[in-house]
Structure 1
């Protein structure tokens, strides 16, 4: 069994990205899932203009999940600027509605706002009070990218982890996973640093200090973090096996899924314990999303 914590879809392929790709349709996702061995996948709506060429609403995701029962798990999503564009917006009204419709979490947040913007913290507070986990995309700067903006070393993420101790944050993106090591450099912060992981990375420190920090291993960034230095990756996954989750972040029908092969090989070669493998590939997601 495998549960994928991070996928995107639209009911019908429409306008393309600049590179000619489109989001995978639900049917195309199912083909990939069956080929890889993914039992269920979390579908993340795209509601912010940053980070998407084509938006998908929570309502659309709920409809898709109902059309394919047992395969897709719906998340809700809200831009922190929704309705009033104010930290006084009643986010709970939206969350309560989507919870009643079956949503299991919120994300992926891609709004290109400061991590500590009062409108963002208003959304965090509403999610914390309802026990909803949040998937975050962290961006390197305002403009020219997407995701909540934090500085090198992730000081704003740390303040949020401390301010919202009951909110489970699932970190994701290149600027998040680059912090696995201390020497990523300016270019590496929004890329895929290579080579051995030296001691002193910010992420190992944050994982050790904050039990509400989780790792979304999807996309090239998550895969790179645990595979660029395999021995480090195996140790990191064993150490934090309770808070790491398998994902692919499939955004187009042509996307590859190297993490599934990497984890399967690590298990087969005795580099990763069966307990850690099962937690990362499905047990953590089942527990976090209250599927059991």
Structure 2
């Protein structure tokens, strides 16, 4: 089993992300990519900051997608720090508690770290083994056409004896299951 802790989706196609007409993926495209790479469940992260891209995907959009695909996706929320009083010490607990009660399991971004693991494989395997109880699997699928080697790399690392079964299972799904109470 794999739980991907870093996915993005938009309800429908909008303004392309770049001049090559790369689009953000729809839930159906993310799901198809998950099927192709052997990922069972995923956590959707909103895209709310206008500085970060061309198309937004609000927390409400993510909740709607998760309601449509309850056995496939889980929701995270994101709160723009300018919300509320627009002050550096703003209390965003009202926003966060609201989204928690709507079913969001967490907040914001969790970086994938694939390049860090593969740049120096020996270090990557050692790091995964030492900290396997603290690492979440994540691909950051945004574009339905971009290849993601993350699941195969983790499977191969286990199959070749580079990481233990415990590390493989913790990273691929057990940590997400425990942290977010997924009941898997």
Distance 2:58 2:13 in 1: 15
The Cα shift of 1:87 comes to: 3.3
Of 174, 177, 182, the residue aligned with 1:283 is: 174
1:4 corresponds to: 4
Contact conserved, 2:39 with 2:151, CA < 8 A, in 1? no
**Structure 1: gaps of 5 or more residues:** 109-134, 136-171, 173-217
Distance 1:252 1:231 in 2: 30
2:38 aligned with 1:17, yes or no? no
1:103 corresponds to: 104
Runs of 4+ in 1 over 6 A off after TM superposition: none
The Cα shift of 1:88 comes to: 4.6
The Cα shift of 1:32 comes to: 0.6
Q: What RMSD over aligned residues (CA atoms) do the two structures have, in Å?
A: 1.1
- TM-score, normalised by the number of residues in structure 1: 0.60
Q: Deviations over 1:26-84 (max 9, x none)?
A: 00111111111111100000111121211111011000000011100100101111132
2:34 aligned with 1:49, yes or no? no
2:117 corresponds to: 226
2:118 aligned with 1:240, yes or no? no
User: Aligned residue pairs: how many?
Assistant: 182
Higher relative contact order (CA 8 A, sep 6+): 2
The Cα shift of 1:290 comes to: 2.1
2:94 corresponds to: 93
- TM-score, normalised by the number of residues in structure 2: 0.95
